[in-house]
Structure 1
Amino acid sequence: MKRNIGVIISWLSIVLNIVLFAIKLWVGLLYNSVALIADAWHTLTDSVSSFAVLIGIKISDKPADEEHPFGHGRAELVSTIFVGFLLALVGVNFTYESFIKLRDHQESQYGMWAIIVTVISLVVKEIMAQYSIIFGKKINSKSLVADGWHHRSDAFSSLIILVGLFLGKYFWWMDGVLGLIVSALIFYTTYSILKEAFSLFLGEKIDDDLKESILQIGKYNFEYPLEAHHFLLHQYGNHAELTFHIYLPGDMSLNEASKVAMDYQKLIRDEHNIGVTIHIDSLEK
């Protein structure tokens, strides 16, 4: 059910972004504004990224199979990285366009339609950002959260452009500078999205709160000082696999040691809903 919410939000995002793109592009061409046109294409990339998120969610929901024993969860990371690189391309293009406009001393005169469309875009994009980020966190979808920040970057760029619309008549360079600011926002969003996605791909250390919880479970449910150590956590989208070591007395029977490990694994799975594999080390050295 939760994943279905992600699909619905993605489809809604695609439709709304295409409508906003068409309106913003029309206004940008009407006033010959590189900033408004850049903002329009930024909005269109939201549709493409939402479609990528949609594909990522669909693939990540596929069950594990022989070739992918840990499932397909990392498909969402792939779609997240795609969103990041798409944003980077948009930023590069409009940085170039803005420099050209400043170099040639081109100015733009804005009218009422530019203000109306920009206000509508700002409000709609922030609402979309809120829903994507909130529900993305609820269903543990990194790509949906990334898409939400993509929406928010578009809302920020619309806000900046809105301020510039009121100042444009006083400064000829306003449109070119706004284009550069929008590009900078796009690059910052790109950096944030790719940093998190690549970090997950490379592997991150176990969260301190999760580690402490596991240690407490071992402390209060077993008579032996298990001293859990050497934690390794592997993220597969909405599925995680945890491995770590425990100490048990060297004279303990194999059956007893296996029972302790299996009981510990079950307690952790029930508490945190993650896959667990425990390696047993002997206290005798």
Structure 2
Amino acid sequence: MTKYLIKKFIPNYENTSDKDVRERYCVLAGIMGICNNFILFLIKLFIGSFINSIAVISDAFNNLSDMGSSLVSIIGAKLSNMKPDKEHPFGHGRIEYLSSLLVAVIIFFVGLSLLKTSFLKIFNPEKLNFNPILICVLILSVLIKVWMFFYNRYMGKEINSGILNATAFDSLNDVYATSAVILATILSLFTTLPLDAILGVGVSVLILFAGFNIAKDTIDLLLGKAPDKELVDNIEKILLSNKKIVGTHDLIVHDYGPGRIIASVHAEVNNNENIVEIHEIIDELENQIQTALGIIMVIHTDPISVDCERTNGYKKKVTRIIKKIDKALSIHDFRITDGVNNVNLIFDMVVPYEYDEKQTKTLVENIKNTIKAKEDKVNVVIKVDRSY
């Protein structure tokens, strides 16, 4: 059903890297969410009025409020797809992240509200009245919400959308809550324990946990988190596919929203290569990365001494010493210069973020002393670097 609707209403639906296609996915999911919640609202309002159940009528208006998450996804998709302007040259893609954060906040407050209500019911239990019509309505609600979870999650994966993933979990939370009501209502026939309140506490904790995780993941994106290893590997694979590129380092990835990634990297080349030829290769690699990964890439050419046996000899010795001290370390931009009485070994060393300033300083001094102890008349200059 979901795939049919995607093919029916989204032209060129397979090109999920296209910003307009992404917007159509979010709008379609949002419209489906509004329609489903409105249908549930009408059914529950009618049944609730027919059997004179305040609980069902209240749940009907809860479905009406659930339309808010779908509306947020539509508005977020529209705003995030606005063209770049003078004030926002990188576009408005991060609005989608803000929309996801808003849905996470909504989920979190729903969890808090349910937790408060459940605790009050534990100390002031209310008798549940078993009604077959009520159970059927709730089961229908669960089935529709399960479908909403699956189609939002499916579309979210197709376009890597945080807002649709957040909306999916919002639907799943409704499944948990309504299923708890069904279970508690059936079990109330056999016990006087306030099971609806007890199950409500458990469900509210799940909802709070889901809201927290969605908010955390979204805030990570807004703050600027480290790129996925798969993305880094794909970039390096393309760069190193050209034999003129002998190494890479200092990869920095800036995420300005889905489909709006800008990155830079240092590409190591032989310092004896023709600069015009290397420039053409770099241009071609930038185009390859943009075509294959949708990333605007800026490549800095870093000439290094590849054929100098003396430099390579020192580099191998230094690398061996560093790896023996700590396998998590790596070096780049290694070069040597001759002083009056010694040889200067100059290089950048990548240190993990887990090492604080004091640990790093001690580590650098240890490496310097170890190298000097094994190599006569050398001066070691280390620039500490971090992996982005």
What is the TM-score normalised by the length of structure 2?
A: 0.66
Is 1:157 aligned with 2:180?
no
Looking at structure 2, the residues matched to 176 and 215 of structure 1 have their Cα atoms a distance apart, in angstroms, of: 54
Looking at structure 1, the residues matched to 290 and 240 of structure 2 have their Cα atoms a distance apart, in angstroms, of: 16
Deviation at 1:159, TM superposition (A): 2.3
More RCO (CA 8 Å, sep 6+): 1
**TM alignment of 1:263-278, pairs within 5 A:** 263-278=284-299
Give yes or no for contact 1:232–1:244 (8 Å, CA) kept in 2. yes
Q: Which residue of 2 aligns with 1:280?
A: 301
Of 220, 225, 230, the match for 1:199: 220
Q: Cα–Cα, structure 1 residues 222 and 267, in superposed 2: closer, same or farther, change >3 Å?
A: farther
Looking at structure 1, the residues matched to 65 and 208 of structure 2 have their Cα atoms a distance apart, in angstroms, of: 14
Is 1:140 aligned with 2:156?
no
Q: Cα–Cα, structure 1 residues 81 and 224, in superposed 2: closer, same or farther, change >3 Å?
A: closer
Looking at structure 1, the residues matched to 269 and 160 of structure 2 have their Cα atoms a distance apart, in angstroms, of: 35
Is 1:64 aligned with 2:84?
yes
Q: Which has the higher helix share?
A: 1
Q: Secondary structure at the match of 2:241?
A: helix
Looking at structure 1, the residues matched to 254 and 282 of structure 2 have their Cα atoms a distance apart, in angstroms, of: 19
Structure 2: gaps of 5 or more residues: 1-9, 11-20, 306-334, 336-388
Of 191, 195, 204, the match for 1:174: 195
Percent identity between the aligned chains?
28
Looking at structure 1, the residues matched to 95 and 199 of structure 2 have their Cα atoms a distance apart, in angstroms, of: 35
The one-character-per-residue Cα deviations of 1:136-174 (angstroms, maximum 9, x if unpaired) are 221232101211121122123222322222102323412
Structure 1: gaps of 5 or more residues: none
Give yes or no for contact 1:21–1:44 (8 Å, CA) kept in 2. yes
Deviation at 1:41, TM superposition (A): 6.3
Give yes or no for contact 1:73–1:238 (8 Å, CA) kept in 2. yes
Q: Secondary structure at the match of 1:263?
A: helix
Task: Quote the RMSD (CA, aligned, Å).
Answer: 2.5
Q: Cα–Cα, structure 1 residues 246 and 95, in superposed 2: closer, same or farther, change >3 Å?
A: same
Instruction: Tell me how many residue pairs correspond in the alignment.
Output: 282
Looking at structure 2, the residues matched to 20 and 184 of structure 1 have their Cα atoms a distance apart, in angstroms, of: 25
Looking at structure 2, the residues matched to 185 and 213 of structure 1 have their Cα atoms a distance apart, in angstroms, of: 36
**What letter matches 2:36 in structure 1?**
L
Deviation at 1:255, TM superposition (A): 3.6
Give yes or no for contact 1:228–1:246 (8 Å, CA) kept in 2. yes
Q: Secondary structure at the match of 1:229?
A: strand
Looking at structure 1, the residues matched to 25 and 106 of structure 2 have their Cα atoms a distance apart, in angstroms, of: 24
Deviation at 1:253, TM superposition (A): 5.6
